[in-house]
Amino acid sequence: MSKQSFFQIFKSVFAAFIGVQSNKNREQDFKEGSLKYFIIAGILFTALFVMSIILLVSTILG
């Protein structure tokens, strides 16, 4: 089993986050990836998304 790089994890989480993750990549993630890195990346993406929405709304209403 080879470890996935930071870029591969980033790309995979981003694709899954917007709903375009391919089945082939998903299977590769389950085989080669570490669950804790995907959870951390998912939490960071979610926090970044929420902060972006808050910033956008406060700028528009500002």
Q: What was the pLDDT predicted at 29?
A: 86
Is pLDDT at 1 greater than 70 in this prediction? Answer: no
pLDDT on residue 50? 97
Does the CA dihedral 50-11-18-39 come out positive or negative?
A: negative
Side-chain-facing half-sphere of 14: CA atoms under 13 Å = 7
DSSP string, 2-43: PPPPHHHHHHHHHHHHHT---HHHHHHHHHH--HHHHHHHHH
The mean pLDDT of the chain is 89
Task: Report domain extents, the chain.
Answer: 6-61
User: 15-55, pLDDT tens digit by residue?
Assistant: 988 889 889 988 888 888 888 989 999 999 999 999 999 99
